[in-house]
Structure 1
Amino acid sequence: MAKPLYKITFHNHGRVYELYARHVASSALWGFTEVGELVFDLRDGVLVDPTEERLRDEFGDTRVLHLPMQSVIRIEEVAKKGQPAIRDPATGEKVVTPFPLPAKPR
C-alpha cells in the first residue's frame, strides 16, 4: 500500500505556499507541525513550471519542515499530486516570476 499524500497550505514570507508531502505529524517541537518527504516532479531538461522549480530550489534539500502551527492554513490528504504553488494571500492568484526579457536596443 502506498504512503498517503498530503497537500500542505501555509503562510511563508507574506505568500501562501502549497506543497505536497508524504509525512505530516505533530512535531517534537512544541507548537510546530512536522512535514517531511516533500514530493516534487523529477523532470530533467526543459523547465515546465517555474514555480515548482523555485520551490524545489528552496525546499529540495529539506529533510523535515517544522512549520509553526499558526502559519498552517490547511492539510489535505489527496489522491494525486497537483501543481505546487506560491499565491498572493489577498487575491489567491499564483505568483509567477516571469522570465527576464532581453533589454531593448537603443
Structure 2
Amino acid sequence: MRIFKVIFLNQGKLYEIYARSIHQGELYGFVELEDLIFERGNSLLIDPSTERLQEEFAGVSRTLVPIHAVIRIDEVEKEGPGKITELDNTTNITPFPTPFISPSKNEDD
C-alpha cells in the first residue's frame, strides 16, 4: 500500500500529514488528500502537535489543499508522526507570493 507524506502551509503553520491517496482535486488548483493516517503511539508521552492534528482532522475522510500551499509530497515506506509546527522568524519557509494588485472592493474601479 502506498503512503504519502504531505507538507503544506495553513494559516501561518506548517502541517505534516500522511495519506494513502493523493490526486488532483475536482476543484481546479487543489490537491485532494484521502484516507488520512495518524500514528497510534504506544508510549506514555503524547506530542501536543500530533494531538492537535488528530483533533483538527477528526472525522475528515477527504481534504482539499490549495496547490500553492503545498511545499512537498513524498512517497514513503511507512507513516510517521504527523505534526503542526508554528512558523516564526527563524524559519526559512515563506508562503507563496500573493498578487501585486489585489482586487478592488468597489464596483466602480
User: TM bucket by the smaller chain?
Assistant: 0.7 to 0.9
Which residue is 2:99 aligned to? none
Which residue is 1:15 aligned to? 13
* CA distance in structure 2 between the aligned counterparts of 1:78 and 1:44, rounded to whole angstroms: 21
Gaps of 5+ in 1: 93-106
Question: In the TM superposition, what whole-angstrom CA distance separates every residue of 1:33-86 from its partner, at most 9, and x where no partner exists?
Answer: 000100012358956221111100001211111111001111000011122122
Which residue is 1:84 aligned to? 82
Check whether the contact 2:39–2:79 (CA below 8 A) recurs between aligned residues: no
TM-score (norm 2): 0.73
Which residue is 2:94 aligned to? none
TM-score (norm 1): 0.75
Letter in 1 for 2:37: V
Which residue is 1:69 aligned to? 67
> Considering only aligned residues, what root-mean-square deviation do their CA atoms show, in Å?
2.0
* CA distance in structure 2 between the aligned counterparts of 1:37 and 1:85, rounded to whole angstroms: 17
The 1:60–1:47 alpha-carbon spacing in structure 2 relative to 1, beyond 3 Å, is farther
Check whether the contact 2:8–2:70 (CA below 8 A) recurs between aligned residues: yes
Check whether the contact 2:38–2:81 (CA below 8 A) recurs between aligned residues: no
Letter in 2 for 1:81: E
The alignment covers a number of residue pairs equal to 90
Larger Rg: 2
* CA distance in structure 1 between the aligned counterparts of 2:22 and 2:11, rounded to whole angstroms: 21
Identity of aligned residues (%): 38
Gaps of 5+ in 2: 92-109
